Amino acid sequence: MRLQLCTWPEVENYLKFSGGIILPIGSTEQHGPTGLIGTDALCAQAIAEGVGDQLQALVAPPINVGMALHHLAFPGSISLRPSTLIQVILDTVTSLARAGFTHFYFINGHGGNIATLKAAFSETYYHLESLGLSNASAVRCQVGNWFMCRSVYQLAKELYGDQEGSHATPSEVAVTQYLYPDQIKTASLSSPVASGYPIYGPQDFAKHYPDGRMGSNPALATPEHGQRFWEAAVKELAESYQKFLEAD
């Protein structure tokens, strides 16, 4: 169930049965020579919609731009500052909490968002209490990182071993290939590829990871792999979302 495709009376009726909503969040950033710039957002949205379809849960519009400041040396990357992303999350949750939603499950596709999401949740709880909303104490936020699902990790290990890497990975590229088979990209990839350097600013990142990859070999990706990753993530996160709703 997509929020964008509902009318307000339909949302009002949904709230009689559930206070939960799924919010996909990703990033718009470089993913190496063969990865789509929208990879993180596209994966998060598709997996979130899969969970929503399975559970008849409402899915909010995706937050497509995340915290990706370290990728800005690569053309096409867009980033919010952590403080800006916190405000986006704060305003999004506040808007929905005013309507009666209480459980906000973020399906995340970008590792760089994790710290900011956790900070935003703390900011949100404080803000809602200060507004005096009647349901403020019932509001809960949780993040499910699809790429960190146990089933996804195990499948990536099985298929790619140590060539999975940590950015522009074959697993995430495979998911986009499954979702957009007419947008599969190819390029000559250097080997070996750098890994293990800490992440600082964009110029430092580009210096150590000149083609944008971090220890990964996305040439191993296939659309068939992508379907398996999508199905594994949807199944595991659907179970996680259900537990989240039932925890109280």
Q: What pLDDT is attached to residue 169? A: 98
| Whole-number Å distance between alpha carbons of 179 and 169 | 16
Percent of residues, the chain, with pLDDT higher than 90: 98
Residue with tokens 């929020």: 3
Mean pLDDT of 188-208: 94
Domain-embedded: residue 178: yes
Domain-embedded: residue 62: yes
Domain-embedded: residue 231: yes
Domain-embedded: residue 109: yes
**Count of structural domains, the chain:** 1
Q: Which residues contact 13 (CB under 8 A, 6 or more apart)?
A: none
Domain-embedded: residue 158: yes
What are 54-64's pLDDT values in tens digits? 999 999 999 99
Element containing residue 177 per DSSP (H, E): helix 170-179
Nearest one of 112, 224, 111, 225 to 163, comparing CA atoms: 225
Q: Give the domain extent around 132.
A: 3-235
Domain-embedded: residue 246: no
Q: Is the pLDDT confidence value at 75 over 90? A: yes
What are 117-131's pLDDT values in tens digits? 999 999 999 999 999
Mean pLDDT of 80-103: 98
Q: Is the pLDDT confidence value at 248 over 80? A: no
Q: Residue 165 forms beta bridges with which residues?
A: none
What CATH number is attached to the domain comprising 200? Answer: 3.40.50.10310
DSSP-derived letter for residue 211 is T
Residue with tokens 């936020």: 141
